[in-house]
Amino acid sequence: MALRVHSAGALNTWTLLLLLTSVVTTGTNAFLSFKLPLLPTDTWTGYNNDVKALLGPLHHELATNEMSPKQAGEGFSDIMGNFMSSKPEFGQNREEHHSEGYISHEPKSLEQVKRLKNKLRKKAFRDNATPEDRKAFRDAIKTYSFMKRQQKRKETAKSAAHQEKEYHKNFWKFAAKCAKGQLDIPPIKPAFSVDYANQYYNNKYSNPTRVDFNKLFWFPHLPVEDQTPVNPFDMSPIRPKDIREVLSKRCSTSAPGPDGIMYGHLKHLPACHLFLSTLFTKLLSSGDPPASWSSCNVSLIHKDGSPEVGENFRMICLTSCVSKIYHQILAERWAKYMTRNDLIDPETQKAFLTGINGCVEHIQVMREIIAHARKNRRTVHITWFDLADAFGSVEHELIYYQMERNGFPPIIISYIKNLYSRLKGKVKGPGWETDPFPFGRGVFQGDNLSPIIFLTVFQPILQHLKGVEQQYGYNLNDKHYVTLPFADDFCLISTHKRQHQKLINEISTNTKSMNLSLKPRKCKSMSIVSGKPSDISFLIDGDPVKTTKDAPEKFLGGYITFLGKTRETYDILAKTIETTIENINKSTIRNEYKLRVYMEYAFPSWRYMLMVHDLTDTQLQKLDAIHTKAIKTWLKMQPGATNAILYNTRGLNYRTISDLYLLSSPK
């Protein structure tokens, strides 16, 4: 570790303290993962006092400007890493393997009986076989069948024990897997080699593509380009209660970044909060973050397609939890600045904005537009777009350009430039890890700043569409709508076929000028002409776009179907409910556990779907029948038994799907 030396070669107080307490340093401490132990309150209090004493000298030097925030941030990670490394309770999880479910293996004795059975079979069917040979073969069949049944019972019992252990360990995690049919199914891992990964991720992210700013002439003019913003960016000091507020909304056991520090550690050690509030406040005015905040571990989550192809995996970047706390506070101030200065319209863009329930509002408006067009025999064309690797395609120089256009303080722009100029990461796969590579483009998926940065970069596309809203948008109750975006999921709504195709071409051209690209195979369109559904295919760069006649469009959790009949919606909901019940039944846990998974996890999860769809009373009764049958099965009730004990307030007081439908929204 590099040491900071004062005049006369004297080491500062914090450096001496770090040398005396040093167990590991950032240089050798990379990519650690400390446990979050279950400790008595008194033990945590003692540890908090120890951390307070260790941070004291560092905090003093930071507060008196003897040390830069950049150095202090690195020092904090070092001290916390050294402290936890010295306590066996925290234990390093360098190679921790999580259970992926019970895996059964056929015992050797069963294999031996199977081989003997096959051998006796050949002998029993020979021309010169004796009655004793055939009897020996029949006995072998009976023995093998008996042993097979016994083995199956043992496997079922072991699987049930394993699943019930997971049920008690973390009910909500277990319930999610159970309802989705993912129990005892290991996640799909990359099937490519480390050499492939090194080449693929380096080629994709290390070399940025230059943005031709001359092609951005279509960017709408912003008032803040000519004058100081009316509502300046919030540069007020960050307080310890701001730290606590962010921590209160975070999962204690969320995966840590390269420094190994988890949210749970910081929750249990409030002595860190005062130091972090000082550090974050100093960072607001310095614009130079710790270098370690630009590093990440990259986990790969399979999306779809072959596991041998890198683009079929979503990258989740695990950065420092300390940096994510600061970035959450910064992101909230960023969003307030953008909305208060009308740089982002919360009536249009609903994603990642505090207090905005965008999914419900947008899906309801979409359904009203479609219903209005059908009822009044109007024409409307809708195309839903999908960007290819949206977060990973953002050019860094476009981020800085947009921040300058939107009037951000130079010190905040400097912070982002310093942070992003040092971005690097390692991708972890099964048994391998890539070499560190720089992120010359894209934003970290998983970092709290990334969503609002993306919204800022993507905003010109929406502003351009809003500029033609009055002319080409659909008129619903004297208000025009041309798009209903949620982050990078956006759509185009217009009333003329030719103009709709022209606007699609403009959107494609504009996204390309920003080095973004549309993914035609993931886009979809629908058309209603004079109130009737019409199968009209539009083109994106010459590629035809699928329509809702091919398959329903899932828009913000709601389904848009070609004919718009409630029967289509019912079929989707019924299939969803039946599949969930089937998945729960496949588990080997006892029935009362299955019932709890269903009533406490699966059943409430359908509230949103019921809120944004319309169903008839008859269809609701059919869903209630499916619901009631499953509950009676798990309670071992006769199918013809009265339902009163299930739904009466003096009975189990369960709710029907009809009840949930009525509670979800007053329709």
Q: How confident is the model at residue 446 (pLDDT cuts 50, 70, 90)?
A: confident
H-assigned helices in 125-251: 131-169, 171-180, 194-201, 240-248
Domain ranges of the chain: 110-180, 358-389+460-557, 566-664
Confidence of residue 1 (pLDDT cuts 50, 70, 90): very low
Q: Give the model's pLDDT for residue 104.
A: 52
pLDDT > 70? residue 633 = yes
Look at residue 402 and tell me whether its pLDDT is greater than 60: yes
Task: Note whether 368 and 558 are within 8 A (CB).
Answer: no
Q: How far apart are CA 234 and CA 423, in angstroms?
A: 26
Q: Which pLDDT does position 453 carry in this prediction?
A: 95
pLDDT above 90 for 139? no
What pLDDT, on the 0 to 100 scale, is given for residue 101? 54
* Statement: residue 27 has pLDDT above 50: no
Q: What is the per-residue pLDDT across 71-110, written as a single tens digit (0 to 9) for each?
A: 999 999 999 988 888 888 887 554 444 445 554 555 667 7
Averaged pLDDT for residues 125-129? 87
Q: Is 478 left (phi over 0), alpha (psi -120 to 50) or beta?
A: left
Q: Which of 155-169, 286-300, 345-359, 501-515 has the lowest mean pLDDT?
A: 345-359
195-207 per-position pLDDT tens digit: 999 999 999 998 8
pLDDT computed for residue 3 by the predictor: 39
Residue in this structure with the two tokens 């480390």, named with its chain if needed: 194
- Model pTM? 0.84
- With 0-12 CB in 10 A as exposed, 13-18 as middle and 19+ as buried, what is 64? exposed
What pLDDT, in 10s, does the model give residues 358-385? 688 888 899 999 999 999 999 999 999 9
CA 308 to CA 548: how far, in whole Å? Answer: 31
What local confidence, expressed as pLDDT, does residue 119 receive? Answer: 87
- Mean pLDDT over 232-246 rounds to 95
More confident residue, 526 or 431: 526
CA dist 313 → 153, 188, 198, 306, 310 (Å):
38, 10, 15, 9, 6
pLDDT digits (tens, 9 = 90+) for 156-174: 888 888 899 999 999 999 9
pLDDT of res. 94: 45
What percent of the chain clears pLDDT 70, i.e. is strictly above it?
91
Backbone angles phi, psi at 544, to 5 degrees: -70, 145
Mean pLDDT of the region 328-346: 92
SS3 666: coil
pLDDT of 26 over the 70 cut? no
Q: In terms of pLDDT, which residue wins out, 129 or 179?
A: 179
Please, which residues bridge with residue 424 across strands? Answer: 295, 438
Least confident of 35-39, 399-403, 454-458: 35-39
Helix 617-635 crosses helix 566-586 at what angle (to 10 degrees)?
10
Confidence class for position 6, pLDDT limits 50, 70, 90: very low
pLDDT-based confidence at 488, cuts 50/70/90?
Answer: confident
| More confident position, 626 or 126 | 626
d(CA 661, CA 653): 16
pLDDT interval class at 559 (50, 70, 90): very high
* d(C-alpha 425, C-alpha 258), whole Å: 10
- Rounded alpha-carbon distances, angstroms, from residue 578 to 292, 412, 555, 596: 48, 51, 22, 17
- pLDDT in the model for residue 30: 42
What is the model's pLDDT at position 4? 41
